[in-house]
Structure 1
C-alpha cells in the first residue's frame, strides 16, 4: 500500500506544534539569556543566585562592621548615620568606621576579582597575587622608598601601585616563551616572590627603627585608620576598570582552555590572557596600595566562589563578592577577638588562608579536584 501525502494549500495555517528553536549554537544547560536592547548576555542561573545571596550576606556584614567596636552602635543608628540622619553616633560611625568598612569592602572586591583573573590565566588554583609576587613587589617598593627616600605616608599607595605592577611585569616577561605556559608562570612568580621577601627583609634591617615599624605595620595588611583618602582612589580604579571587567567576565570562558585545545579550535589566547593578567595586576596593586598586602584573600575567594556556583570557570562577580565578604568578616574578627587590642586584618585572613592552602595542597596531591 502506498502512503498518500498532501501539501498544504498556499496561505493555509500551519499545524500547531512546539515552536522551533532559532538556528545557532545550543544554549548551555543551566544558563539563561538576558537581553537589553541590542545586547544579550548569557547568564548562569546558579551563579546569579549565588551572587544574590552573597550580596545579602555582604550587606549584613557591612552593617555589623559599623555596629561593633569599643562602642556598640545599634543597627538602626548606624544606618541613620550612613544615610545622613543626625544622631549621637555620627562621629563614631560616619567619621571612624564608615570609611574603614568601605575601604575593606573595596579591597575585598578588588582582591577577589584579581584572584579570579590570575587563576584563570594560570589555570592553577594556587596562583594568586600574593603567591606570584605582586603584593610582595608592592611591599618591597614601599619599604625601599621609606628606607632610602624618606617617603611620607601619603605617598605609600603610589609606591605600592608602582611596585606591584613592576613585579608582575617582571614575572610575565620571564614566563613568556612563545606564549604563557601556566606552570612556568606560577613557578617564576613564586621565585620572584621569595626574592622580594629577601630584599624587603634586608631593607628592614638597615632602616630606622621608627620607619621599620611603620613599614611592618603596613605590610601586615591593616584597615586601621583608613579614611576616604584611601577608599576614593580604589573606588575610582574599580569604576574605570568596570567596562574591562565586563569584557573579562566573557573572556574567561575561553581563557581557561589549554594551549592544545585553543589551537585546535582556532582560538588565539595570547592577547586574551595578557588582557586578563593586566586587569588582575592593576586590581591587586590598587588593593595593596589601599590596605597593604592582605594575604590569602585572592587565593581563597575564586575557589570558594567556583565551588558555590559549580561552574567550569571561576565566576568573576561571585569571586569579587566572596573577597569582599572575607575582608569584612575578618575586619570584624580583628576588632573583637582580642578586644581592646586590635589585630591587623591581614593577620586574621592569614590565619584562615594558611590552613586552606594546606588543604588545597593535600587535596591536589591526593588527586582530588582542586
Structure 2
C-alpha cells in the first residue's frame, strides 16, 4: 500500500508534477522535452543490438565457403574485397530480409498482445498470417508471381482476416479470451482455404507455395528487402506513436477512460499497425511461425517491465530470425531448411508451456476462490452455533 503507485511502471513517458519518477527510470532531457527511460530496458536493448551485430557478422561469414570477419566488414562498409560476390550479392540481401522480417514480426506481436492482454495473441495464432497466406497463395495459383505485388496482396489478406476476427469478437467491447478463440478458429479455416488453393493450382506453383508457407528466406534478395524496408520506414511514425499509446492501453479500462483515453480508437490503431507489419513480413518471407509469439515475451522477461518494449521486441525478433536462418542453412548443409522449421521447433514447445501455465493458473485461482467461499461459510456456521 505504501510503496509504489499502482500503474507507475506502465507510464514511463510521464513526468510527475512533483518531480518524482517511477523506480527504475532515469530522466533524459532533449532540449525542452523531458523523457523517462527505463534503465534495464535500455541496457537490454544495447545488449540485444550487440548480439544482433555479432549474429549478422556470423551469418555473413558462414556458408558453403567461410569468409573471415575482417573481409565481411570490408564488404559491408563498401570497401573493395574479393568476397564481394559471396557476401555482398548472395548473403547480404538475404540477411537484410531476415532482419526486417524479424523486426516487423516482433513489433506486430507486441502490439497485438498488448491490445488483447494475452501472450497467445500473436499474428500467427489468431489468423492474421493465415489471411495473408491465403490471399498470397491464391494469387500464386492464379498466376500472380511478381514479388513487387505479393506483399501488397498479403497486407490486404491480413487486414481482411483481422477485420473479420475483430468484428466477430466484438460484443460491446473487445474481450481478450473471445478475441483469441475466434482468431484461432479463423486461422484453421483460412489454412484450409490455403490448402484448397494449393490443390487447385499447378504442381510447380503448389510446390513453390508449400515452401513459402513454411516460411523461408531461400532466394530472397533486394527485390523483397526494398519494399519491406520502405514500408517499415513509412511506418516509423506510427510505431513511435504506438510506443506511447501502449502505455494507455496497458492501464485499467476505467483508469484510461478517466484520463480521457479513447480506448476503442487507440486499440483499433494499434491492431491495424500490427496487422500491416505482420502482413508485409509474411508477404516477404512467408508466415515464419512463432516469431511474433516469442519475441515480445522474451523481451518483456529480459527487461522486467510491465509493458512490452517495442524496441526490445524488434531486436529480439531480428535475432531469432537471423540465428534460426543461420542454423537452417548449416545444420543439414548443403541442404537448406526453411527458417520456419527452426522457429517452429522452438516456438511449439513454448506455446504448449504457455497453455499449460495458463490452465494451471486458472485452476489455482478457481481453487482459491472455492477455498475462500468454504472458509467464509464455515466461519458463518461456527458463529451461528
TM-score of the aligned structures, taking structure 2 as reference length: 0.87
Which residue matches 1:150? 143
| Post-superposition offset of 1:39 | 2.2
CA distance in 2, matches of 1:201, 1:171: 20
Please name the residue that 1:257 is paired with.
Answer: 251
Alpha-carbon distance in 2 for matches of 1:288, 1:202: 19
Matched residues in 2 for 1:287 and 1:23: separation? 42
Task: Give the distance between the partners of 2:324 and 2:214, measured in 1 at CA.
Answer: 13
Tell me how far apart the structure 1 counterparts of residues 89 and 61 of structure 2 sit (CA, whole Å): 13
Question: Residue 11 of structure 1 aligns with which residue?
Answer: none
Cα distance between partner residues in 2 of 1:76 and 1:22: 49
Among 183, 192, 206, the residue aligned to 1:189 = 183
- 2:314 pairs with 1:316: no
Alignment of 1:351-366 (within 5 A): 351-366=345-360
In the TM superposition, residue 292 of structure 1 has moved relative to its aligned partner by 0.7
Larger Rg belongs to: 1
Is the 2:136–2:283 contact (alpha carbons within 8 Å) kept by the matching residues of 1?
A: no
Q: Paired residue for 1:52?
A: 46
CA–CA distance in structure 2, aligned partners of residues 183 and 259 of structure 1: 16
* CA–CA distance in structure 2, aligned partners of residues 114 and 281 of structure 1: 7
Is 2:130 the partner of 1:136?
A: yes
Summarize the alignment of residues 243-282 of structure 1 with structure 2, pairs less than 5 Å apart.
243-263=237-257, 267-282=261-276
Tell me, in whole angstroms, the C-alpha distance in 1 between the residues paired with 2:62 and 2:304.
Answer: 34
Give 1:106-145 correspondences, 5 Å limit.
Answer: 106-145=100-139
> 2:221 matched to 1:221?
no
1:234 deviation in Å?
1.1
The CA deviation at 1:268 is 3.1
Q: Which moved more, 1:78-87 or 1:32-41?
A: 32-41
2: distance between equivalents of 1:327 and 1:360?
Answer: 21
Q: How far 1:153 sits from its partner (Å)?
A: 3.7
The residue number in structure 2 matching 1:171 is 165
Counterparts of 2:233 and 2:152, CA distance in 1: 18
Give 1:176 deviation, angstroms: 2.4
**Larger deviation, residues 64-73 vs 24-33:** 24-33
The residue that corresponds to 2:95 in the other structure is: 101
Task: Say which SS state the counterpart of residue 33 (structure 1) adopts.
Answer: strand
Q: Which moved more, 1:114-123 or 1:174-183?
A: 174-183
Aligned-residue CA RMSD (Å):
1.8
Output the TM-score relative to the length of structure 1: 0.90
- The CA deviation string for residues 150-191 of structure 1, in whole angstroms up to 9 with x for no partner, is 112423222222211211122122222333222221111111
Structure 2: 5+ residue stretches without partners: 1-14, 365-385
How far apart, CA to CA, are the structure 1 residues paired with 2:334 and 2:236?
39
* 2:23 corresponds to: 29
Q: How far apart are the structure 2 equivalents of 1:265 and 1:37?
A: 27
- In structure 2, distance between residues paired with 1:176 and 1:23: 38
More helix by share: 2
- Cα distance in 1 between the residues matched to 2:152 and 2:245: 29
Structure 1 residues not aligned, in runs of 5+: 1-20
Q: CA deviation at 1:301?
A: 0.4
Indicate the residue corresponding to 1:16 in structure 2: none
Residue by residue over 1:181-226, the C-alpha shift from the partner in whole angstroms, topping out at 9 and shown as x without a partner, is 2222111111111110111112222221111111111111111111
Alpha-carbon shift at residue 25 of structure 1 (Å) = 6.4
Q: How many angstroms apart in 1 are the aligned matches of 2:240 and 2:146?
A: 34
Deviation at 1:274, TM superposition (A): 1.1
Match of 1:10 in 2: none
**What is the aligned partner in structure 1 of residue 383 from structure 2?**
none
